[in-house]
Amino acid sequence: MRAGEEAEAVAPAEADRTKSTRRRMTSSTGRPRSEEAHQAILDATLALLGEVGYSALTVEGVAQRAGVGKATIYRRWSSKLPLVVEAFSALPGFEDVDAGSLEHDLKETLRKYLEAFNSTALGTVFPSLAGERAHNPELSKLIEPVARARREPFVRIFERARARGEISSDVDIDLAADLVVGPISVTLFFRGGSLSPRMVDPLVDLALKGILKRG
């Protein structure tokens, strides 16, 4: 993924911000919204997410931590959900790895992937948000692009591999991406397990070669 696209992909809420502010017609009148406050709120949100988790996060707490009135938060986000989405969609994405080998690129990228989940709020926030999707279609729409952006690097790796002829042209690339990311998802959601980088090599090896004996 290249920088420009990444920015676009992981921060879609930026464009959304004006849209989400219903009452706003012209942005030219009145005192402009404080960019400082905006950032303080997002920072406080991420900090608290890391500390207490999504469900124990309160708008009241964020306001206090950010040194901001509650109304300033509600003026921008209708509830804690889109706030959290925007906060964590601002987390850094990761760059493409392109060393010319499917296996190597996958392993390298997965390691970064795990690293991101382990070292940022992603690992705890993402499951929380995911859990809300089923009953909150609005949220669902908001997270979708963020989630897609996270999978994107894998899609690119497979596309390059196909171009190089490493994989058959009739392999469903989305499915392939899901296959390598899948065990991580399972670990994260089904087991409570920690994401160790040691799981990467065997995982990629198995996904590439297949479970069946090769004959």
What angle do the packed helices 137-164 and 122-133 form, to 10 degrees?
Answer: 120
Considering the complex, state which of residue 59 and residue 179 has its C-beta at the smaller distance from a copy of itself. Answer: 179
**Residues with Cβ within 8 Å of residue 69, at least 6 apart in sequence:** 63
> Which of 76, 101, 88 has the alpha carbon at shortest distance from 24?
76
Could you identify the residue written with the tokens 């950032």?
A: 39
Provide the binding-site residues for a copy of itself, judged by CB under 8 A.
Answer: 52-56, 102, 123-124, 126-136, 140, 143-144, 147-148, 150-151, 158, 165-168, 171-172, 175-176, 178-192, 199, 202-203, 206-214
Q: How many of the other CB atoms lie within 10 Å of CB of 193?
A: 12
Considering the complex, state which of residue 39 and residue 193 has its C-beta at the smaller distance from a copy of itself. Answer: 193
- For residue 109, give the 3-state DSSP assignment: helix
From residue 207, alpha-carbon distances to 10, 116, 176 in Å are: 27, 22, 8
Nearest-approach distance from CB 38 to DNA, in angstroms = 7
Q: What is the CA angle 135-139-145, rounded to 5?
A: 130
* Pair 171, 162: CB distance under 8 Å: yes
Nearest-approach distance from CB 188 to a copy of itself, in angstroms = 8
Considering the complex, state which of residue 41 and residue 176 has its C-beta at the smaller distance from a copy of itself. Answer: 176
Binding map of DNA across residues 43-82, x = CB under 7 A, - = no contact:
---------------xxxx-----xxxxxx-xxx--xx--
* Helical (H) or strand (E) element with 205: helix 200-209
Nearest-approach distance from CB 159 to a copy of itself, in angstroms = 13
Nearest-approach distance from CB 214 to DNA, in angstroms = 54
Name which of DNA, a copy of itself, none residue 128 binds, using a CB cut-off of 5 to 8 Å depending on partner kind. Answer: a copy of itself
Q: Which stretch binds DNA (CB under 7 A): 19-27, 119-127, 153-161, 200-208?
A: 19-27
Whole-angstrom distance, CA of residue 173 vs CA of residue 170: 9
Nearest-approach distance from CB 194 to DNA, in angstroms = 27
Nearest-approach distance from CB 137 to DNA, in angstroms = 16
**Runs of H (alpha helix) within 120-172:** 122-133, 137-164
The residues that touch DNA, with contacts defined as CB under 7 A, are 21, 23-26, 28-34, 37-38, 40, 58-61, 67-72, 74-76, 79-80
